[in-house]
Copies of this chain bind each other. A is one copy, B any other.
Amino acid sequence: MRIGIVAPSCRLEEAVAARLPGLVRDALGPQTPDLVIHPQCFLSEGHFAGPDAARADAFVELANDPSIDAIWFARGGYGACRMVDLALPRLRSTAGDKAYLGYSDAGFLLAGLYAQGIGRVAHGPMPSDMKRAGGDAAVLRAVRWLIDPQPMAKAQGQPVAAFNLTVLSQLLGTTLQPDLTDHVLMVEEVGEYMYRIDRSLFHLTSNPALRTISGLMLGRCSDVPDNDPDFVLTEEEVAQHWCRHAGISYLGRADIGHDADNQVVPFGPS
């Protein structure tokens, strides 16, 4: 079992990469997979883990490699939308046999892969989550899914998908937008003002194709800066408002977010 790690957005800290193999080995013993950390993870160009082409090349190399079983995105931040068009058209059939795991900015890739029906795609923790309090558990949760990428037990056959709210908003109306008909859609947010959460939920629920979802679940919205004046409405009230306005069922809270409790949400089955 070999897990390839690439960084489509921001670079992975060396300290995280150094501690990761030991953490996994101590927890999983003989089950421990090989972690193939691509050197691209440590490149740096401005905001990004190397130039757009280098991030695309590393992803394509590992995704097409038949000796790699799964791709784990190292970290979010920003940058996946700059390399996704350079990467997806170059994927071969071997890329379809793999699992892909990440969240936040990696959602641009999850969306594009899922839209094209490539591999088994999941929202879930990334190596960089090791830096959070309780992050070791998040990272091990992710590795366990990568070793055995099963659908979500709780979903009971109902298709699901999960995204960062802003990332999903900013890929609507592009070729990355997946068909989420009849899906339970989970969205989470971090570091956005409540008026922006409201505006992004307007955007999602006003997209005719997204109105075909079977329902919306709201993940955690953390580190929301203070609104001036106070926005009054809570995150759940704005989610309920827009669902009501769009005729979408609001299905309550989802156990996802930018935190150590972030659950693995395998997309589909579609």
A-to-B contact residues, CB < 8 Å: 45-47, 78, 81-82, 85, 169-177, 195, 198-200, 202-203, 206-209, 227, 229-233, 245
Contacts and interface: CB of A to CB of B under 8 A. Distances in A.
How many copies the complex holds: the figure is: 2
Contacts of A85: 206, 245
Contact of A202 (B47, B82, B199, B203): B82
A47 B173 contact: no
B172 A47 contact: no
Given A195-B78, A206-B175, A206-B176, A170 B46 contact: no
A233 B78 CA distance: 14
A227 to B, nearest CB: 7
A229 B175 contact: no
Contacts of A232: 45-47
A245 B86 CA distance: 10
B175 A172 contact: no
Nearest to A209: B173
Contacts of A78: 195, 198-199
A81 B195 CA distance: 11
B46 A175 contact: no
A206 B231 CA distance: 32
A207 B174 contact: yes
A251 to B, nearest CB: 22
The 9 closest A-B pairs by CB, nearest first: A173-B173, A46-B232, A174-B206, A172-B173, A78-B195, A81-B202, A170-B203, A173-B207, A47-B231
